Structure 1
Amino acid sequence: MTRPITWRPNHALTPGEQLHRWLLNRYPITPRKENLWIDTIASDFNLHSLEATIHQSTILMLLRRLITNAEWYRRQHVEKFEERFENDYLRHHLTFPPQEARAVSNLTFKALEASKQNIPQSTIKKMKERGEKRNTHCGLCGELINYHSSNPNDESRFSLDHIWPRSLGGHSDESNLRITHIKCNSFRQDYASAADTHYEHLHVKVPEGDPSFLLEANRMFRLAVNYQSGFQCSRCQLPLSRLPDGLRLEVRSRHESHNFFNSMAICIECKR
């Protein structure tokens, strides 16, 4: 089931994550009524995961909408923009009850403020030196990083990625940063999870042994499956940070092609 990724088990949530969690609690996924025909289809095509993905996608869309409109109100109304956002937008337009509108407004503007923070140069230097010393691999694909490269065309050079995206209210403190390739960071953009990227449309049509399999199962698709598994082996649960050889794609059912719902990320040992 697609879910928001639990990146750091013992960290303080960023403002954006707090707002995201509030929205998930406010708008939980609603159970379907029992239907034998639908349940039969669901068992074959994993529609329960599809429902969860659509739900997560909708929540993330609402989160983006709130932050974007908070910025719009801030620019349109220099005075009392928070009050206008709460009353005009949240209460009257989105019909939030007064108490909920106040809570959402506070969280949204905290997320907006966090989204404007740049990574301090001191943090960049500190994390780069520490990553080089520990030979830290890319936090997204698990491959080696070229810490010494200054070539702008080198896709393996060092970069810092916001774990919870900055545009969604992720602050630039060290606890919300990880070391990645510049290319992986660019590929990921500001997506929060697999549901945010609509990867449910991706399919790999050729079998795994076909020479063109790796071409079709490109990095974007592998990243999507890694998101779905929480960047850990789906079988032994070891995190990607402890797997020097990274993760590999594996189908859940041999009766179906590699696609978002029929693929999982496993380590080399579990794939043998």
Structure 2
Amino acid sequence: MTLTLPPLITGIIHGDEHAWLRACTMLGAYYRPEGGHRSAFDLIRSGDPYADDGLLSGCDLAALSAVGVRLSPRRARRVLDDPEIHRLIAALPRERDIVDADDDVIGDSSAAAQLFHRLADDADLGLGWKGAQAVLARVRPALFPLVTGPERKALGVSKNMPALWRQLRDRLRDDDARLAYQLYYLVQTAPVWSELSQIQVLMALVHLEAEEAKQQRSTARTAADTHLASQRREAKRARALAAESARTSRHRRDASGRHAGEPISTSAVRLRDHR
């Protein structure tokens, strides 16, 4: 499936000032200091200055809850104790942005692809494709995107994550890496944490654009439903008025018929004969 970037992103690519300012505002609100629901995924840190952020930790698994992935203590322990998972994570380059990643890093036979399938395909781990992708995004936030349902639908792509990684990389590289540079400068301009990676910012904007479009559709549906309900009330009122008018007409006809059928009084007969 062909990856399609939202209008906000294409506006940033083409240097549209309105898109740029809108993106700055959206990112500032999204990554506000008090944090938000989904943005907590990027912001949650252990606070341990001696922690190795390149390894999978309990803090990373806790961050998964920000995107709706919750593991039981037993499953979390199994993920953390799996030596194969840690071996594959260790094989991922530490200082590499997705725009610089070659196919040996994000190809179908790469350690990243093996790790994704190891996490996603083991039903007993309870991660699924979304949880697996989130784990990669936590341990290598500059290399792997955070992808959930809304972002995947907004981009028009399937759940084939190795293919999506390469599609995103190629779009970042297009036109002499114009989008990659624009995202870099956007991070420096917007009121956000300066260590955010290009792919983190890109996926945050895709998410925000998708949520805004969803809200607009919801508002439009609500307005349409309100208008339809109003039309139905008016139609019901019109039918009630028509029915009342019909009843009134029948009563008048019935009353007129009764008067026409009444016998002529004797006084009226005498008056007629006298004439």
Q: Shorter-chain-normalised TM-score: which range?
A: under 0.3
How does the TM-score come out when normalised to structure 2? 0.24
Larger Rg: 2
Q: Greater strand percent: which structure? A: 1
Which has the higher relative contact order, 1 or 2, with Cα contacts under 8 A spaced 6 or more apart? 2
Instruction: Give the helix-richer structure, 1 or 2.
Output: 2
- TM-score scaled to structure 1, two decimals? 0.24
